[in-house]
Structure 1
Amino acid sequence: MRKTVLLLVPTLLLGACTWGINPTPASQNVRTAWNGDVSGCRDLGKITVSVMDHVGPVDRNDIKVRDELQVMARNEAATMHADTIKPLAEPSDGSQPWGAYQCGSHLVTPAAAPGNNPAAPASSGATQTYPIKGG
């Protein structure tokens, strides 16, 4: 009986954790301005989100924590009718402030990633494609 209780307690405690924060459908239209350029956008306010950055004495994976903070900020920005967010500071103790903006048709370029520049001309001179905002 005692061994059963010792096995059930950690299982129940882990089951109470909120791992895997999921984006809402509305947040799919919220962009992240990693380069910080929100000129021409209307400032809608500040969002501060937080997640658990450690469980007991064990620190959680930094990338996972940052990803969950971004997803939560996008979810919250969608409720404010914002279409763009940008980090205002680095995460600290599982918390991070974000700015919420309404940019409309103003293009916020994503952070440059190798081989991922949708506005760059095609090198072969072929047809170019550009992302469009869905209705």
Structure 2
Amino acid sequence: MKAKFIVLLSFVGAVLFGMGCTWVKPVEGVESIALVKAAVVQDCEKLVTSTVLVTHKVGFINRNPSKVANELLTLARNEAVALDADTIVAEGPAMEGKQRFGLYQCR
């Protein structure tokens, strides 16, 4: 019985530790990517719409929504760097670890 408790406690500890980790790392150049409202990009060239996805649950436990949102934004900025975009626009809210962004060339 004690061994099962220790295994369960180890599992719970690992899950809680994993929930606090940031899994998405920014690539070089993301600091120059602007996140703006749709009205700002009216005179810009839209390159693509990108749907980004991160883990929003660890097991049956939801991850911190702000961490998930930050990771979604980082992924969108990483994608913008790869496609030579300089501006991104969220095209809707984040839902279950998924969000759509428009990637634009404005400068």
Report the TM-score range of the alignment, normalised by the length of the smaller protein: 0.7 to 0.9
Write the mapping of 1:91-110 to structure 2, written as runs, cut at 5 A: 91-104=94-107
What is the deviation of 1:82?
A: 0.2
Aligned partners of 1:23 and 1:75 also within 8 Å: yes
Q: In structure 2, what is the equivalent of residue 49 of structure 1?
A: 52
SS in 1 for 2:88: strand
Identity of aligned residues (%): 33
| 2:67 is aligned with 1:64 | yes
What is the deviation of 1:10?
A: 2.8
Between Structure 1 and Structure 2, whose CA radius of gyration is higher?
A: 1
Larger RCO: 1 or 2 (CA < 8 Å, sep 6+)? 2
Stretches of structure 2 lacking an aligned partner (at least 5 in a row): none
CA distance in structure 2 between the aligned counterparts of 1:96 and 1:10, rounded to whole angstroms = 30
CA distance in structure 2 between the aligned counterparts of 1:31 and 1:88, rounded to whole angstroms = 14
| 2:11 is aligned with 1:10 | yes
**Which stretch of structure 1 is more off in the superposition, 70-79 or 50-59?**
50-59
CA distance in structure 1 between the aligned counterparts of 2:90 and 2:96, rounded to whole angstroms = 15
CA distance in structure 2 between the aligned counterparts of 1:16 and 1:59, rounded to whole angstroms = 11
Q: Which structure dedicates a bigger proportion of its chain to helix?
A: 2
SS in 1 for 2:25: coil
**Letter aligned with residue 67 of structure 1:** N
Stretches of structure 1 lacking an aligned partner (at least 5 in a row): 105-135
Q: In the TM superposition, what whole-angstrom CA distance separates every residue of 1:72-95 from its partner, at most 9, and x where no partner exists?
A: 100011000000001011111110
What RMSD, in angstroms, separates the aligned Cα atoms of the two structures?
2.7
Length, aligned pairs only: 103
| 2:86 is aligned with 1:86 | no
Write the mapping of 1:92-131 to structure 2, written as runs, cut at 5 A: 92-104=95-107
User: Given the two structures, how large is their TM-score scaled by the length of structure 1?
Assistant: 0.64
